[in-house]
Amino acid sequence: MKEDFDVNHFVSDCRKRVQLEELRGDLELYYKLLKIAMVELINKDYADFVNLSTNLVGMDKALNELSVPLGQLREVLSLRSSVSE
């Protein structure tokens, strides 16, 4: 999870302790476990994922409707700031 993670360094470091075949097997097992965990997480929260996408339908229209009033508010705040100065 480190930002500076280097695959080549990781493999060369592991090679000092285990054979490449064993490392490959361990990484394949880890990949399978991660894949299973991801599927379980999605299945567990599937209703939430579906509801989220359903709730976002039409959100772009609502945001567009707010753009004019927000622009007007920005102008009013700018004028207020000018008057205060």
In this structure, the answer to whether residues 36 and 58 fall within a common structural domain is: no
pLDDT(30) > 90: yes
pLDDT of residue 84: 84
What are the tens digits of pLDDT across the range 4-15?
888 899 888 888
Structural domain including 56 reads 46-85
The number of distinct structural domains making up the chain is 2
What are the tens digits of pLDDT across the range 33-77?
999 999 998 888 888 877 777 777 777 888 888 888 888 999 899
Is the CB of residue 16 less than 8 Å from the CB of residue 10?
no
In this structure, the answer to whether residues 59 and 31 fall within a common structural domain is: no
In this structure, the answer to whether residues 1 and 38 fall within a common structural domain is: yes
User: For the whole prediction, is pTM greater than 0.85?
Assistant: no
Residue 32 to residue 27: CA distance in whole angstroms:
9
What is the secondary structure of 49-79 as a DSSP string? HHHHHHHHTTHHHHHHHHHHHHHHHHHHHHH
7-15 vs 20-44: helix crossing angle, rounded to 10: 130
Q: CA-based angle 11:16:20, to the nearest 5?
A: 55
In this structure, the answer to whether residues 37 and 55 fall within a common structural domain is: no
In this structure, the answer to whether residues 3 and 40 fall within a common structural domain is: yes
In this structure, the answer to whether residues 38 and 74 fall within a common structural domain is: no
pLDDT of residue 25: 93
